[in-house]
Amino acid sequence: QVHLVESGGGLVQAGGSLRLSCAASGRTFNYYSMAWFRQTPGKEREFVATIAWNSGYVHYADSVKGRFTISRDNAKNTLYLQMGSLGPEDTAVYYCAADPYYTGTDEVQYDYWGQGTQVTVSS
């Protein structure tokens, strides 16, 4: 059982940076793969990035590769998404997700989800 709570969203100007956090609770957090997804109204939820439990594997969507960095601090039970060079296309609700094993891009494979945090990038 893992409970996830995202934070760090807000309004940022195009070209700016923002760091999202996802606080996790649960005894098994350290061994769960984690991921970030995002969604805008009228669009399907979109994969952003994923990271293995020991940070030994990371994968990014092409749309964010080179701009976003996913990381985790297991000692703090926290997942991060450092976002840079933000543009209006990055405006979305960002969700963190967790799964005991899965490190892919399919949202239905992740067992646990947070409530989301809104990121708005002004042009």
Whole-angstrom Cα distance, residue 95 to residue 98?
Answer: 10
Residue type, 64: V
How would you class 59 by CB atoms within 10 Å of its CB: exposed for 0-12, middle for 13-18, buried for 19 or more?
middle
Q: How confident is the model at residue 29 (pLDDT cuts 50, 70, 90)?
A: low
pLDDT digits (tens, 9 = 90+) for 56-68: 999 999 999 999 9
Q: How many CB atoms lie within 10 A of CB 5?
A: 14
Tens of pLDDT, residue by residue over 1-27, are 889 999 999 999 999 999 999 999 986
* Of 27 and 90, more confident: 90
Q: Quick one: how far is CA 36 from the chain centroid?
A: 2
